[in-house]
Structure 1
């Protein structure tokens, strides 16, 4: 499987299945633990240490060993990995070193690369975006700027002192409000004007959707296809991973740190995999085994730690943090409890301990219910294994129920929209590594994500969120009760009802006994009518009957709850007997096999043409829907892969959108998912990711 990436769980999952022992040991010895053995055990070397990830990242900055393209570690990921090996681990590591190429800045800034990003972040909102051109000025193209607006020409190429735009920016009059361009940005703008305000290419005659991004924006490193790297041809290395590090290090006359001592190595390994220190007994065992065969001792320690429940509990926490796991809804002060949320938590832990491949792990969380439907699974599937898989798939979709949700208390349009938008933020940062939520109200200021892209992604999940037919938290639970359990529950209910009938019969006899005594106290002429009035349903009594009962309030107030007021011996003669029967019925009902309930993300079974439409909201306001959009992946990827998501899978009772999206995301060719997941695993082993901002692989990351 594509995401069956990590050997024996070293990088986030459990044991690999199959394969002989020697092959398994060789694979493990060539992976993560090799880094622990060879990097950073003692003093850090001058410019790079794998264990000290901060130093590693520092070494990747300009002026250090990551300098220019032909000298950098900028390589890409191998997309066709299936089983973890040294070659594959090398690929996993180097994918995350695919950092932007650090080249030399051109002497003169150019519009597309240097100026447009500044204007997009600070000026587009008032001058060009969504048809807004305050003062008649549009800054989306160089020629628009040169043309100017109501105040005349905005810039004079080659003459910064005569450029009105630069004058306003320097004076702090643009942008409006508190935002200001930095001194560096102003200097860049001035240098661009002084250099003649050049562009890299001829500008389009008109701006359409196809011009939403520049070539420079499309070329952002994390949005490029993953590729197989060429391993530097170096000798004297035990692992291909080291070749990428050693190439640059040798140019600096540097070498790797000495191997860590066995105790330090075991301590690192145990903390990384379980979050706990090794026990003295474990240390002694490891030291003794290391004396006989260090490699075999390490493999045995890895196997032992991966076999403990603490492994999944430790690494499950990392993913649960990303998913925003919470045992309550948040959003409002009442903070309602999510009584079934723990099932998603347990699913995550169990998945890691079961060595579930990451592609399967992601697909289940995005579309477990649709996978179950495709496989024909339900609570009444014939085998226990099928029923268990059905339950697991539903539990997985709890990922999409983790966002703060105030609709259990404040079920209005704003609260519903906030729940959807927070879910998209979680999806964006956890799986894309991009802040897609920043495009909810306008095009993303720094990354190539349009506002329409945001709502196209929302359309993938809209059928399950349908804000017009919203399901509050309490109505989203899915019962796992089987038909056999239901039949048994019905049988038990009939048994309990028989006990109820006996109790009611006895209670009615007691009421009749008291009623007869009270009627005997009434005037003889009223007794028959009074009995009839009492026995009549209150809502159907005639005015005469109501008046008669008011005349005799003791009859009017007679009920099962007031019997003790009429008979001082009632408590000892009858009440205890009735309470015993009530308790007996309750005990019988308690034996019903109700089945579990799951807090799942599902869609209401669709009627023809009933899938809710998704609209772009003007400035993110759900009360101002504009044009409708169809579901798709990020359109910036459209140049080299399909991005549209089918709107309706006619083979399913749901839309099928989430399943289609999940399959695209995990097809082995998506540029973001592998990079993001591997980076998170690296981060949790070394303290900081090769991309330090694990949730933002964009320009601000």
Structure 2
């Protein structure tokens, strides 16, 4: 580790690397953030939700040396942790619930049950599944288990197959016959390659799809060698279109048993329905004859004959009679019901009841949006100028030469004898998760660092190539990658290492960086962009966290976790809202945002205005813009106002009628701290003014005016920078 002068600020090895560079510039870390800010920061970073006042008090009142450690462990053990950090991975995986390119707001093509992959990711983070295993399952889960011959699917088989949903995230419109063309099939393969390469390797290798770039070490041939890993599953010459590219979530034997059972039930139901029809037929015939008798005698016989003749054998005259007189002779089921005698009615009711009971006995199985090899590996070629119609030299599956180790070069193993899988993707995954791999661990720890500090050690987190940014702390990145890979690839240990550091625990307030005990130039002058991390960067909450925190503070947030997504509905004005009519239960509209239906382009309006990414392929780093539309949405949007009203009711129930108690409660719920004297005075003034205005202009009663004013205060807090930013 680097030697530093201020050893008292070294809490973890991370601090030594950062301090070494800071001290070279005459700088040091800023003082630690205060306890309320720390507990809020930790809770938002690890779970995406603010701490409750009780949780803040628990931390502030814990005077033991392990108070901070205990807080970290409690948050890492929360199911909300996986929902928060699983969302980051889903971004990089390009997860969406739609199957197509999503270019029309009104056309929603759902990828049936792909949410099972989302839930797999969340479970994996919550269980602290080692990252190498996590990656292995997603790239080659189908090759790790003998799912084809298993008499029944074990949890391990289901987990492994579900994990391969990672390779099913590319847009695939080949379900439409007119779009099931060779160029689109190839594009699905290329998009999958791009998602894997940018997410796992942090490389933009799709640039080499057309030709080798002069200054890019990944060659044209490298690109097609890498694509060949996925060709046995995505073979354009032997294509399975997107609506058929799924597996039942039961074994072949169980599926056969279920299908046979259901077929038997269907036959029995058909027989019962035939018996019902036979019992009703005499009464239907009587009613028909009665109506027929009312027709004029000259057409009566011909009309009867026309009805008794098969439709495809009727003469032109018979067709005319049926068309013109048929409605007069029709016997609706309700008329037959009225005509039945008591014995027949009882019999048909019993038969119908048995048919319904039989129908309920049918069994079902779900779908897994998995990936598996369809056949033996096809021949793969280098395509000149990226055009599949101009194949060049044949290539075999392999890794980019620049990443290969000359001392232990990548070798594609021969598939096991009799195995239906060729093992290519398993070989790729094991190469990616070698402890000495030059990129995999670095790319992942860099992305975790990015989530905590707003920017990765390599700022271009999806481009570790020569055209990407140089690392700000290369030795630290190397050390973190080695530490992560050699200590079991445990993601929660990586979190512990970061959040226990002085770098993470320091204040984000720039003015607090001045330290009279250290002679140094002004930090803002030496490092105005804070690349050396002399203070904690101030970060705005992501779109989902903004909505989730509003729901948490209002008390409306629902604990729904997993399962089918909550559907959205586009409106004619261009906004997108939750489809309340489709909800299984009303509380689902207040679920965490990770469980909303995720589209490529048309996201929930409250998320879009806070930079919810458009998912053309995947997203390895979100943008964070501050625009006036965000404030206007929180001021005028129906969601924001409704939540502010619920927030105000929560405050009213907790604080009663006392105005100062209401102010303190509102601040504690929204900002996790008590207001200072100036804030109390300003809030008192706001409440009084709004109450007077409501009584004067809207003729409200004093109680109604007080409630409305409290809603205004709550909405103001939800729109404040302090609420929207991680301290």
Q: Into which bin does the TM-score normalised by the smaller protein fall?
A: 0.5 to 0.7
Secondary structure of the structure 2 residue equivalent to 1:468: coil
| 2:390 maps to 1:613 | no
Relative distance call for 1:458 and 1:586 in structure 2 (3 A) is: farther
| 2:405 maps to 1:632 | no
Match of 1:264 among 17, 27, 37: 37
Match of 1:288 among 45, 61, 80: 61
Match of 1:309 in 2: 79
The 1-side partners of 2:332 and 2:131 are apart by: 71
* Structure 2 segments unaligned to the other structure (5+ residues): 469-727
Match of 2:199 in 1: 430
Is the 8 Å Cα contact of residues 515 and 555 (structure 1) preserved in structure 2? no
Larger deviation, residues 415-424 vs 253-262: 253-262
The 1-side partners of 2:428 and 2:325 are apart by: 65
| 2:92 maps to 1:322 | yes
Match of 2:219 in 1: 450
Match of 2:445 in 1: 678
Is the 8 Å Cα contact of residues 270 and 305 (structure 1) preserved in structure 2? yes
Match of 1:151 in 2: none
When normalised by structure 2's length, the TM-score is: 0.55
Name the Cα RMSD after superposition: 3.9
Relative distance call for 1:517 and 1:647 in structure 2 (3 A) is: farther
Secondary structure of the structure 1 residue equivalent to 2:233: helix
Match of 2:250 in 1: 481
Match of 2:692 in 1: none
Match of 1:389 in 2: 156
Secondary structure of the structure 1 residue equivalent to 2:237: helix
What are the within-5 Å matches in structure 2 for residues 455-604 of structure 1?
A: 455-481=224-250, 483=254, 485-486=258-259, 488-506=261-279, 546-547=314-315, 550-551=317-318, 564=330, 569-570=335-336, 572-573=338-339, 585=355, 588-604=358-374
Match of 1:31 in 2: none
- 1:572 to partner: Cα distance: 3.4
Relative distance call for 1:506 and 1:454 in structure 2 (3 A) is: farther
Relative distance call for 1:508 and 1:671 in structure 2 (3 A) is: farther
Match of 2:132 in 1: 359
- 1:598 to partner: Cα distance: 1.2
For 1:272-310, what per-residue CA distance to the aligned partner results, in whole angstroms no more than 9, with x for missing partners? 101122221111110111x2x13x111211121122221
The 2-side partners of 1:259 and 1:527 are apart by: 100
Match of 2:186 in 1: 417
For 1:530-570, what per-residue CA distance to the aligned partner results, in whole angstroms no more than 9, with x for missing partners? 9899577x77x6xxxx54x85586579999x9962599954
| 2:441 maps to 1:668 | no
Relative distance call for 1:283 and 1:554 in structure 2 (3 A) is: same
Secondary structure of the structure 2 residue equivalent to 1:464: coil
When normalised by structure 1's length, the TM-score is: 0.57
Is the 8 Å Cα contact of residues 306 and 322 (structure 2) preserved in structure 1? no
Q: Give the count of matched residue pairs.
A: 450
Larger radius of gyration: 1
- 1:686 to partner: Cα distance: 1.3
Relative distance call for 1:532 and 1:231 in structure 2 (3 A) is: same
Relative distance call for 1:567 and 1:286 in structure 2 (3 A) is: closer
Is the 8 Å Cα contact of residues 291 and 328 (structure 2) preserved in structure 1? no
For 1:377-425, what per-residue CA distance to the aligned partner results, in whole angstroms no more than 9, with x for missing partners? 74x42xxxx5222222121111111112222232212222222211111
- 1:459 to partner: Cα distance: 0.8
- 1:503 to partner: Cα distance: 3.1
The 2-side partners of 1:562 and 1:495 are apart by: 35
The 1-side partners of 2:329 and 2:379 are apart by: 60
Match of 1:299 in 2: 69
Relative distance call for 1:522 and 1:453 in structure 2 (3 A) is: farther
Secondary structure of the structure 1 residue equivalent to 2:232: helix
Match of 2:111 among 324, 338, 347: 338
Is the 8 Å Cα contact of residues 377 and 390 (structure 1) preserved in structure 2? no
For 1:97-134, what per-residue CA distance to the aligned partner results, in whole angstroms no more than 9, with x for missing partners? xxxxxxxxxxxxxxxxxxxxxxxxxxxxxxxxxxxxxx
Is the 8 Å Cα contact of residues 284 and 336 (structure 2) preserved in structure 1? no
Secondary structure of the structure 1 residue equivalent to 2:122: helix
* Structure 1 segments unaligned to the other structure (5+ residues): 1-229
The 2-side partners of 1:418 and 1:242 are apart by: 45
| 2:455 maps to 1:688 | yes
- 1:257 to partner: Cα distance: 3.0
For 1:198-225, what per-residue CA distance to the aligned partner results, in whole angstroms no more than 9, with x for missing partners? xxxxxxxxxxxxxxxxxxxxxxxxxxxx
Report 1 or 2 for greater relative contact order, CA contacts < 8 Å, sequence distance ≥ 6.
2
Relative distance call for 1:274 and 1:388 in structure 2 (3 A) is: same
